[in-house]
Structures are given as C-alpha cells and as structure tokens.
Amino acid sequence: MSIQISIELPESAFSVLRKSPEEFVKEMRLAASVKWYEIGMISQSKAAELAGISRAEFLNALDRFHISPFQESLEEITREKLGE
C-alpha cells in the first residue's frame, strides 16, 4: 500500500537538475533516502524501499553520492575489534 502526497515546487526547480517533474521526484526520493541512510535513521533495505529501487541499485546510488555503504565509523569498528 502506498500513500500519494503532493508538494508545491517552483517551475525553476526542475531546470536545476535538468529533469522532468517525474524524474525530479524520483531523484528527490533517492536523495532523501540516501541522506537518511547516511545519518543512520534508516537501514539500506528501508532506504531502497523508500527510493523505489532495489537494494543493489541503492548501493550503486550510495557510490554515486560518495556515501559509504557501512554505517559504522572506523573508530567504532576499531573499538569493536579491540574489545573495548
């Protein structure tokens, strides 16, 4: 089940990314999902679902946005390895 929402955007918003309104909405959903994943609000699978793409496509999008697919920081991984 899905819910449709409507937002108002200035016409100039679509020219910023040189996208049609449909493509712009897709890109906006993806960007929001990537950001929410980056800050740890949602998992990869939930982010992919929100973006309307497969998990593999989401991993490719993370690379495109220069976001690590790993939510743990190097410090957290190191502490875990050292048993702290």
27 CB contacts (<8 Å, ≥6 apart)?
A: 17, 19
Domain assignment of residue 47, yes or no: yes
Q: What is the pLDDT of residue 13?
A: 83
For the beta carbon of residue 37, count every other beta carbon within 10 angstroms. 26
- Look up the domain containing 70 and give its range: 18-82
Domain assignment of residue 11, yes or no: no
Q: What are the pLDDT tens digits along the chain (84 aa)?
A: 888 989 898 888 888 888 888 899 999 999 999 999 999 999 999 999 999 999 999 999 999 999 999 876 667 667 777 766
Q: What is the pLDDT of residue 63?
A: 96
Residue 77 CA to residue 65 CA, distance in Å, equals 23
Q: What is the pLDDT of residue 81?
A: 72
Domain assignment of residue 65, yes or no: yes
Q: pTM for this structure?
A: 0.79
Q: What is the pLDDT of residue 73?
A: 65
Domain assignment of residue 71, yes or no: yes
Q: How many domains does the chain have?
A: 1
Domain assignment of residue 36, yes or no: yes
